[in-house]
Amino acid sequence: MKTRFHIFSIPLYLIVLLISCKKTADDIAVKPDLSVDIVLHQAIPVSVTSKDKIEFDVTVTSSSSAVLKTGILSLNGEELQREEATSASEITIKHSYQALDTDVGKSLIFHLRVDDEDGNTAKKDFTIYVQSAPAAITFTLPEDRPEEILDNETATFNIAVASELDLKYIKTSLDGTEITALTQESFADPKLADYRFDYTPTASDIGKTLTFQVEVMDVLGNVVRQEFQLRIVRSNTVDFKNFFDINLGAQRSTAAGPFLNAHTGEVHVPSGVSQQAAQIDLVTFYSGSTFSYNITSPTLASVADNIYTVALFGADAMANWSVRNSTLIKKIDLSRTEFDAIESGAAIESLYSSSSVAPSATSGAMANNAAIVFMTAQGKYGVLYVKSRTANNNTGVLTVDLKIQD
């Protein structure tokens, strides 16, 4: 599983300038922040033993127009690996670190620094705890625990925990974020615990499969974790469809196709797409002139003339499609909370009709957290929200969520 981070930093010279100079905004020439996307091709562990190797497999790309120069991975001020950016402004760092006996009981802080050609810097730390031996901790999830509930129900979990050493804490995370209200740090029996918690779904959970992780640590810092899942089913009948985590590839992506049937959530790759042309509502490509992803109607002439061309795609070029559906698009401001709160087909249509944005055949630049509303050739209204991007180039992938009238 890949893990993605988006980070940015303010250049050091700018911090010094803001502190030491009393000038108006017009007096200061501000450089843009360095904003990068980090993809972990292999999960970085939170803890290891002194017998373990820590493997780093990291790709860094710019999420702006900045040109990356160098990536450096270091530990305790000692440089472990330095890599130069490729011509595509991409940095890949692969490094193995063997934990040592002298590391036991310590938290190792690995420091990743990325510099661009203008001297701006972005940084991220990875903290890994080194424990002396595999944890002597067990916990048991009940066999009758719920795997699926309605959005108006509450799930109850009872977990039996046993440890050879005294317990330090029990924590629960949901999709990687700790639920602090469920953390337990005091125990009637220091080596045994009946850990119980309830979970009531939120509006944003509906239609999703949630991943919970329970983490137990003893007083010597030994840690064990276990995951379980809970699917949330909508309790009421609705007149729209949800599609989560749709991957849309740019024109050179080998990971995902660029052509979307918005009514079914199905994504098509270029090969053979001409036979599915009547089903395509939206087209994705990456613009090398604006350094951004775009989502367009199949009728947009420039995407057929310059991107999905006969020279590059042969019989599947868009110029050869028997049908090119007309989808009208409006790029709007819409938060994740607002997207999750949409509960009807009428609400989606209202987003479109109430927007003062002129309908277009293209979204324009689509960054993380960008949103569009659209009307398909079949007269159905939809709303699309960008969750994340991989490489900011024509081989990358957009991950989006979609709601559309049924």
Tell me, what CATH number does 100's domain have? 2.60.40.10
- Rounded CA-CA distance 396/389 in Å is 7
pLDDT tens sequence across 16-44: 434 444 443 333 333 446 888 899 999 99
CA distances from 186 to 166, 352, 404 (A): 10, 52, 48
Residue 19's pLDDT is 40
**Token pair listed for 255:** 């990971």
Q: Are residues 255 and 225 in the same domain?
A: no
Which among 383, 86, 36 has a CA at the least distance from the CA of 240?
383
pLDDT tens sequence across 189-205: 999 999 999 999 988 89
pLDDT tens sequence across 374-403: 999 999 999 999 999 998 899 999 999 999
Is residue 300 predicted with pLDDT exceeding 60? Answer: yes
Query: 97 with 146: CB under 8 angstroms?
Result: no
Q: What DSSP element (H or E) covers 127?
A: strand 121-131
Residue 59's pLDDT is 94
The winner for highest mean pLDDT among 84-88, 113-117, 148-152, 280-284 is 280-284
Residue 207's pLDDT is 86
Question: Other C-beta atoms within 10 Å of 202: how many?
Answer: 10
Count of the separate structural domains present in the chain: 3
Positive or negative, the Cα torsion across 37, 40, 44, 46? Answer: positive
> Where are the strands (E) in 200-288, listed by range?
209-218, 223-233, 240-249, 259-261, 266-268, 282-287
Rounded to an integer, the average pLDDT of 313-340 is 96
Residue 365, SS3 per DSSP: coil
Which among 308, 290, 261, 312 has a CA at the least distance from the CA of 365?
290
Q: Are residues 159 and 205 in the same domain?
A: yes
User: Do you know the residue count of the chain?
Assistant: 406
Residue with token string 């999750």:
340
Q: Are residues 223 and 293 in the same domain?
A: no
Is residue 8 predicted with pLDDT exceeding 70? Answer: no
**Token pair listed for 213:** 């992780």
**Of 79, 103, 131, the domain-final residue:** 131
Q: Would you give the DSSP letter of residue 33?
A: P
Residue 235's pLDDT is 87
- Write out the residue range of the structural domain in which residue 295 sits: 240-405
Q: Are residues 319 and 363 in the same domain?
A: yes
Residue 33's pLDDT is 62
pTM: 0.54
Q: Are residues 175 and 271 in the same domain?
A: no
Sequence-distant (≥ 6) Cβ neighbours of residue 206 within 8 angstroms = 151, 232, 233, 234, 242
Residue 1's pLDDT is 52
First to last CA, the chain: 32
Phi, psi angle pair for 313, to nearest 5°: -120, 0
- Could you tell me what percent of the chain has a pLDDT over 70? 91
Mean pLDDT (the chain) is 89
Q: Are residues 145 and 220 in the same domain?
A: yes
* pLDDT tier for residue 2 given thresholds of 50, 70 and 90: low
- Could you tell me what percent of the chain has a pLDDT over 90? 74
Amino acid identity at 167:
L
Residue 333's pLDDT is 97
Q: Are residues 157 and 304 in the same domain?
A: no
Residue 65's pLDDT is 82
Q: Are residues 264 and 357 in the same domain?
A: yes
pLDDT tens sequence across 122-168: 999 999 999 876 668 998 888 888 999 999 999 999 999 999 889 99
Residue 18's pLDDT is 41
pLDDT tens sequence across 85-104: 998 899 999 999 999 888 98
**Of 131, 159, 188, the domain-final residue:** 131
Q: Are residues 108 and 249 in the same domain?
A: no
Residue 4's pLDDT is 59
Q: Are residues 257 and 381 in the same domain?
A: yes
Sequence-distant (≥ 6) Cβ neighbours of residue 66 within 8 angstroms = 32, 34, 35, 89, 116, 117, 118, 120
Q: Are residues 257 and 398 in the same domain?
A: yes
Amino acid identity at 295:
I
Q: Are residues 10 and 109 in the same domain?
A: yes
**Of 131, 154, 189, the domain-final residue:** 131
H-state helical runs in 230-318: 301-306, 310-313
The residue among 237 and 19 whose pLDDT is bigger is 237
